[in-house]
Structures are given as structure tokens and as C-alpha cells.
Amino acid sequence: MLVNEQLTSGPSTLDLRIATTATRPVTDHVLVLLHGLPRAYGMGRRAAGQLPELAEHLANESGWVVATGTLSGVGNSSGTFSMSQWREDLTCILDRLDDGVRRISLAGFGIGGALALALATSDERIRGVATFATPANLRRWSVDPDVLHAVVREAGVVDPEVPLLEPRALFDDVNAVDPVACAAALPPRRFLIGHGSDDQEVPLSEARELLAAAEGRAELRVIQGAGHWLRADPRMVATLLGWLDRHR
């Protein structure tokens, strides 16, 4: 079953979908799926595509409560992208899901994985993080202020009523997140790193950087022949389900 809600996060109104199952015993675990920011014209608004269906599938197969929210500027959510606003959005989502009993984990795709790592270092409610196709160095991913600014505009994650940060401010805001430092700080909480062997946007070497930062206290799963778009890959789904099953 998939329930739709709306949350207020600063200037933004977010879409949140929460999946539960009626076919398996429900655990006290909750998983939050996080989208990234596609580097293609107009694709930012569709960044969360397929995640509601993935949430339903994971909930039915695992017994976990699985939630996915579209962050500021994505899908039907209002607002404009910045990493700090997305962090506020994610905190708002966790506040909604936290009932004092549930154990919360995050699974993020692309820079959604970097966001998950960043919040986990400051929020003790997060018991584990899974990243997929996540860059280890957001400065490399951003390229430079003007390129990043253009990417965000082309992706379409800008609300006319909420101005986008200027190029240097946006670049600094994104690069305030250091995935390598966060990966080093995450253990002993559980940590899964998934990556496609043929990812042309975020090379496999970046996943190995995250693993090295965690000093081996993480699981690395390389999906052979896979590119950057992993959310629909059945091997990724199996990998994530296996991780959930080991931490019931």
C-alpha cells in the first residue's frame, strides 16, 4: 500500500510517499529512498521517477516501511534546489517518520547518497546508509561554479518564486558536503556502497574511495556491466533487499 502526503519544509512543499505491506509481518525498520540530480535537460523534475514503485516492491519483499520524498524542485514539490535545502527537506521527512521506535536507514542514488551520508554524521536516528552511484568528491562532480549553475538550471529544479543561489554560493553550498569525510565517520553503523562497473558519469573509482575512507568497514557491491542509472536494475534491487534482510 502506498500513501501520499505533503510536508512543509521552509519555503517548499514536499511530496512524500510511504509504502507498507499487507503480505508480510511489518518490522520496526524504515527505509528512506533518496533521488539524485540528473545532469540532463529537464530531467531534474523526473529525478524521483520509479522510486515510488521501488518503495512498494521493497516494502512487500522486506516487511520494512519504505518512504520516498521528492525534495525541493523535484517532481511536484515546490522550491528550488540547494544542498542545504535538500538537507532541511530530508530532516523534515525523518521528523515525520520518527515515532521513537522505528530504526531508520537511508538509501540514496547519485548525490542523494552524498546527502544521506552527510545527514547521517549529524543525526543519530540514522542506523545505516546505502549509496548507489554516489560521487566521493562533489567538487569533481560539480566541475566549477558556472557549470554547476547551468546544470541545475537545465535540470529544471528551480522554482520561479524561490531564487537559485548565485554560482559561487551554490558551488560552495554543494561542496560543503564531503562524502569521503562522512564515509569515514559513519562506521560502525552499517554502510553499503553499490556501483555500476560501467558508470560513465561517476566512475567506479569513486566507490572505492568511499570504501577506503570507511577503512573497509562497509560492503562494496559492484554491478557488472551497469551504468549510472541503477534504480531499475534488478541486481541493484536484489543487493538492497539482501542488505535490508541482513539488518532486520
Nearest to 233 by CA among 193, 192, 196: 196
CB of 42 closer than 8 Å to CB of 118: no
36-92: per-residue pLDDT in tens? 997 766 676 676 778 999 999 999 999 999 999 999 999 889 999 999 999 999 999
Eight-class DSSP state of 98: -
Q: What is the pLDDT of residue 248?
A: 67
Structural domain boundaries of the chain?
Answer: 2-246
Cα angle, residue 23 at apex, residues 17 and 28 outer, rounded to 5°: 60
Lowest pLDDT segment from 25-34, 134-143, 210-219 = 25-34
* pLDDT tens digit sequence for 131-184: 999 999 999 999 999 999 999 999 999 999 999 999 999 999 999 999 999 999
Question: With 80 as the cut, is the pLDDT of residue 199 above it?
Answer: yes
| pLDDT bucket at 18, cuts 50 / 70 / 90 | very high
CB contact at 8 A, 34 and 115:
yes
Task: Determine the Cα angle at 71 with ends 70 and 76, to 5°.
Answer: 50
Asked which of 19-33, 185-199, 204-218 is least confident by mean pLDDT, the reply is 19-33
CATH code of the domain occupying 2-246: 3.40.50.1820
- Confidence (pLDDT) at 198: 95
Asked whether 215 and 187 are in contact (CB, 8 A), the reply is yes
With a CB cutoff of 8 Å and minimum separation 6, the contacts of 143 are none
Over residues 185-199, mean pLDDT: 96
DSSP string, 218-240: SEEEEETT--S--TT-HHHHHHH
